[in-house]
Amino acid sequence: MIQNIKTMRVIILIALLRFCIGLDWSGYFSTDNRFLFKEDYPISFEEYRLSLNSQQNISENLKFYSEIWLRSFGLPNIRNLSDLSEEDKVNSFDLNIREAYIGIYGFSLKNLDIRIGRQRIAWGTADKINPTDNLNADDLEDIWDFGRHLGANGIKIDGYIKDFNLSYVFLPRFTPAVLPAGNWFYSNFSNITLPPGTAPESVYNSITMPAYNIKNSITGLKLKKNISRFDFSLSYVYGRDDIPILKQTTIVPAGIPGEVDIYNELVFPKMQIVGLDLAGSIDDFGLWAEGALFLPESINLVIDMSQLGMGVMDTLVLEKKPYVKYVFGADYTFKNGMYINLQYVHGFFQERGRGLEDYLLMGLEWKLFEERLKLIPLSGAWEIKDFSDLKNNYAFVYAPEISYKPVEDCEISVGVRLIDGKEGTNFGVSKDNDEIFFKLKYSF
């Protein structure tokens, strides 16, 4: 029996090798090292990534595509002597299948395409901040890598009628977002005002995940058409918010008088989202606009302090009331190689309901010496929490950068990220985390 299992493994390995040899490979190797502007410049982020993209035209109508990340990510997590015997804690490594799917073109009908497998289905026309892009879960592992999403297992069907494109997407299960490490999430979503004279001893955060069944599947429809020099699309998604929201907090006495334990329960509210976007150009100006109408279920936050003799409070934190997120922007490339990009954003990815804020994102690049040198003197965002009291409700991120290509496919970059903001703003949470970063990327 054991011999048969070994033989089967060898056969599978040989089949995989033969399949991989027949693929067309491309990809990149990148490094990203960041250091805080504090004493001794502690390392705040470290990633070494090998991205492998493969594709193969199996036949005229059948194609395979995949993207795989091999990474050394994060810092060693050593707490005691026994940790030194666990390689994952000493030298972290992970393999991430970002996409892997089969595309069938002309499936049954000439104007019908179907993709099956793990895939990134990107909707929206704005630059990285896309309120209509709600099928794939957000990947917020790196909070400065805007627009990154996870792959999702599912089916995508595209039908073509004249100059209309109709897409249908079915994802059989819900996937939550990957949240960043540190206090970003808790500072923005889990603030509870404790009774006077009490302090938290321990905080426990539990998540109620939707059941893995068809009832909690994600579906989407999108109709796209080109009119003159602009692409227009109308979309609809039935799913859930992939960032959890606080629904229940129970506060109980701890062992020491005045100290309490906090038990939080978080859920993923259901959402219906209607989206509209357009992108095109007028003369040499690129223009885009994108908006989404969110129809959430209502969520009440119940704060139970009955064991402290203070009763139970019930507060509506997410109304069953529509709200709109939108983005509009433009870009332009000057004859001297200078490129400028501006976007106005109402509602960031983690914001809901009445808590939508406004942001101005900007970037200025200048390529010199046959594009071997790239200067980015202006890159960042300005956050406005409340226009009526601007001086107490703003934050900003400023991230100038310089890049150089010693050879055609290799780029080395260095830059800084400076952050400041008032208390209660999203960027302000990280105002003490100014950093310098070094990056290298080699494409092949």
What is the dihedral sign for C-alpha 227, 230, 231, 233? negative
Q: Is the model's pLDDT at 175 over the cut of 80?
A: yes
* Distance in angstroms (rounded) separating the CA atoms of residues 184 and 176: 17
Q: Is 403:4 a contact under the CB 8 Å cutoff?
A: no
| pLDDT at residue 88 in the model | 78
Q: Is there a contact between 248 and 264 (Cβ–Cβ < 8 Å)?
A: yes
Per-residue model confidence (pLDDT) at position 9? 62
The reported pLDDT for the residue numbered 11 is: 65
Q: How many residues does the chain have?
A: 444
Tokens representing 441?
A: 């990327």
* Segment 316-338 mean pLDDT: 95
222-238 pLDDT tens trace: 999 999 899 999 999 99
pLDDT of residue 50: 96
C-alpha pair distances (Å), 277 with each of 77, 280, 325, 426: 44, 11, 12, 26
Give the tens place of pLDDT for each residue, 31-83.
999 999 998 899 999 999 999 999 999 888 999 999 999 999 988 888 888 88
- Strand 245-253 and strand 299-304: the pairing is parallel
Q: What mean pLDDT is predicted for residues 96-114?
A: 91
List the chain domain ranges: 357-444
Cα(290)–Cα(129) distance, rounded to whole angstroms? Answer: 9
Q: How far is CA 73 from CA 142, 162, 340, in A?
A: 11, 47, 32
Question: Using one digit for the tens of pLDDT, what is the confidence trace for 373-384?
Answer: 999 999 999 999
Question: Could you tell me which residue, 188 or 351, shows the higher pLDDT?
Answer: 351
pLDDT band at 92 (very low <50, low <70, confident <90, very high): confident
If you average pLDDT over residues 420-434, what whole number do you get? Answer: 91
* Stretch 122-133: mean pLDDT: 96
DSSP 83-114: GGG-HHHHS--EEEEEEEEEEEET-SSTTEEE
Q: What is the pLDDT of residue 214?
A: 92
Alpha-carbon torsion 127, 129, 132, 138, what sign? positive
Contact (CB, 8 A) for 298 and 316? yes
Residue ranges of alpha helices (H) inside 243-371 are: none
pLDDT digits (tens, 9 = 90+) for 356-368: 999 999 999 999 9
Compare 196 and 208 and report the one with higher pLDDT.
Answer: 208
Determine if residue 89 is left, alpha or beta; phi over 0 gives left, psi from -120 to 50 gives alpha, anything else beta. Answer: alpha
pLDDT over 70, % of the chain: 93
User: For position 75, what pLDDT does the model report?
Assistant: 86
Task: Note the pLDDT tens digit of each residue in 177-197.
Answer: 999 876 565 554 456 778 888
Beta strands in 297-434 (DSSP E): 299-304, 312-318, 323-333, 338-346, 358-368, 373-384, 394-398, 401-407, 410-421
Residue 19 has pLDDT above 90, yes or no: no
In the sheet that 312-318 helps form, which strands lie side by side, from edge to edge?
199-207, 259-267, 245-253, 299-304, 312-318
The predicted pLDDT at position 355 comes to 86
Hey, how many other C-beta atoms are within 10 angstroms of the C-beta on 10? 10
What distance lies between CA 104 and its chain's CA centroid?
A: 28
The pTM assigned to this predicted structure is 0.89
Tokens representing residue 74 in the block: 């994060």
What average pLDDT does the chain have? 91
Q: Is the pLDDT assigned to residue 372 strictly greater than 80?
A: yes
Q: What is the pLDDT of residues 242-296, one digit of tens each?
A: 999 999 999 999 878 888 999 999 999 999 999 999 999 999 999 999 999 999 9
